[in-house]
């Protein structure tokens, strides 16, 4: 990576994207998939992963119509008109702040329940928000450097623990494998789309690439890797818990807590396992804080980035404190089906059509 230019290499952008998507919904993914499909849960996750790769292709193609140095807002204003571009900027910024609120609420609830039972919920959320906002204020280059470290700290132990867990699973729980119809698989995959929170950041991150050559294919590879991790996680978790998985609130964390590590000398293994997930949550909150504030700045076109981060952090924290935390799952799905689906499919598709039409007219005039 080039230093002090607020740019990132394609490999660093891959790592950031994988951390952003992984932290968003992995802890509840097997349970939600099992609620839709029983022992066919992994099939739903597999289809969801394939759909995510196709969406990444769509988002990456939209990014090809950005001019050098153009942000998402600048490109949208050029391709779709200034009012529409500004409106889309405000909406995606609002959507990312919603993501922060929901992820912080889920994070605070899990940590309060599993680790820090005597610590007030709002203190846990405030600390995570403050650390994430501070890192976001340092720019995209800082995010990229952090990703280089966090990627290995999060994924290597996670995959290692799940490989060890395979010693004590009953793969008979996965048969019969095709107990769910293809139509139900597609319906379940669509309903599980909220687990892909963070995928829309592809629309926003591409201007920060040091080299945009083959960037789209590399981001698709990152999404496919996360899809494989999610399928593997779902298979092993369901094979361990069977039908009782639907009664577990956080089956992935329960799996990590109860897996015996040979030669382990750490008394609180649950705390160690939780720390990996906490780091991945930091990545998604940090990413949403960075991009929500930078998009607001691009729309308003004045002021410093740090001011927008501070204002966004205050708004997010207020919403976290006021939110009814029993409705987290419902709210996450609601945001996905409205703003989320729009920025994953509709907006990039319109930008591609507009960009292609402009390129065709320009070629015809020559």
The model's pTM: 0.87
pLDDT tens digits, 23-61: 767 777 888 888 888 888 888 999 999 999 999 999 999
- The residues, ordered by sequence, that sit 6+ positions from 26 with a Cβ below 8 Å of its Cβ are 195, 230, 233, 252, 277, 280
pLDDT, tens digit (0-9, with 9 covering 90-100), for 227-257? 999 999 899 888 888 888 888 888 887 787 7
pLDDT at 5: 58
Domain boundaries, the chain: 10-353
CA of residue 94 relative to chain centroid, distance: 16
Task: Tell me the CATH class for 10-353.
Answer: mainly alpha
Predicted confidence band at 3 (pLDDT cuts at 50, 70, 90)?
very low
Q: Which residue has the higher pLDDT, 300 or 36?
A: 300
């Amino acid at each position: 990576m080039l230093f002090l230019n607020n740019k990132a290499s394609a490999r660093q952008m891959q790592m950031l994207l994988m951390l952003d998507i992984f932290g968003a919904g992995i802890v509840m993914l097997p349970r939600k998939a099992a609620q839709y499909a029983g022992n066919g849960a992994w099939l739903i996750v597999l289809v969801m992963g394939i759909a995510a790769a196709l969406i990444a292709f769509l988002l990456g193609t939209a990014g090809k119509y950005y001019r050098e140095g153009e942000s998402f807002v600048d490109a949208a204003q050029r391709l779709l008109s200034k009012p529409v571009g500004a409106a889309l900027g405000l909406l995606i910024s609002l959507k990312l702040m919603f993501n922060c609120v929901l992820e912080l609420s889920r994070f605070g609830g899990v940590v309060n329940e599993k680790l820090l039972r005597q610590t007030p919920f709002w203190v846990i959320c405030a600390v995570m928000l403050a650390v994430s906002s501070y890192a976001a204020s340092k720019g995209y280059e800082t995010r990229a450097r952090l990703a280089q470290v966090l990627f290995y700290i999060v994924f290597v132990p996670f995959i290692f623990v799940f490989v060890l867990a395979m010693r004590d699973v009953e793969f008979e729980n996965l048969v019969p494998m095709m107990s769910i119809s293809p139509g139900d698989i597609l319906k379940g995959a669509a309903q599980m789309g909220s687990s892909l929170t963070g995928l829309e950041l592809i629309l926003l991150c591409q201007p920060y690439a040091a080299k945009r050559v083959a960037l789209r294919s590399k981001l698709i590879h990152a999404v496919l890797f996360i899809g494989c991790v999610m399928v593997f996680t779902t298979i092993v978790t369901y094979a361990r818990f069977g039908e009782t998985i639907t009664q577990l609130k956080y089956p992935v964390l329960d799996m990590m807590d109860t897996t015996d590590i040979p030669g382990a000398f750490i008394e609180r293994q649950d705390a160690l396992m939780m720390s990996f997930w906490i780091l991945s949550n930091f990545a998604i909150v940090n990413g949403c804080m960075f991009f929500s504030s930078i998009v607001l700045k691009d729309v308003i076109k004045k002021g410093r980035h740090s001011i927008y981060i501070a204002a966004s952090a205050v708004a997010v924290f207020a919403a976290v404190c006021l939110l009814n935390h029993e409705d987290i799952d419902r709210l996450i799905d609601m945001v996905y089906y409205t703003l989320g689906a729009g920025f994953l499919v509709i907006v990039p598709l319109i930008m591609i059509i507009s960009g292609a039409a402009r390129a065709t007219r320009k070629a015809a005039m020559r």
